[in-house]
Amino acid sequence: MVRDARYLGMASRMAAEMGATFVKTYYCENFEEVTNICPSPVVIAGGKKIEEKDALQMSKNAIDKGAVGVDMGRNIFQSDSPIGMIKAVRSIVHENASVDEAFEIYKSGPKGL
């Protein structure tokens, strides 16, 4: 199955109609179609490890297109500054920070765990 708005939207809606309190799905082009069709809050999965600024951009795009949160694993734990990355993603989700502002937060975090 292709990861596009049509299929992710249908799968998300089915999960919501079956009683899901919230739905975790992948980010895709036209993500607003997914969040518009799903009656439950939508959280994006972080997916494979990508560059930190790209992960922050994906987070910002998802929030701007209707997601209520971000569930990231390897994009945080495999970062050279996991604490900075957590704070950066938090600033996007909870404080509506720009990608550039969030990237500065990430860069100011301590390196390593």
Ordered domains of the chain (ranges, CATH): 5-108 (3.20.20.70)
Percent of the chain with pLDDT over 90: 91
* pLDDT higher than 90, residue 93: yes
Percent of the chain with pLDDT over 70: 98
What confidence tens digit (pLDDT) does each residue in 31-86 have? 999 999 999 999 999 899 999 999 999 999 999 999 999 999 999 999 999 999 99
Catalytic machinery residues: 24
* pLDDT higher than 70, residue 113: no
Cα–Cα distance for residue pair 24/28, rounded to 1 Å: 13
Stated pTM of the model:
0.92
Mean pLDDT of 100-112: 93
Q: What is the mean pLDDT of the chain?
A: 95
Cα dihedral 99/104/108/111 (nearest 10): 50
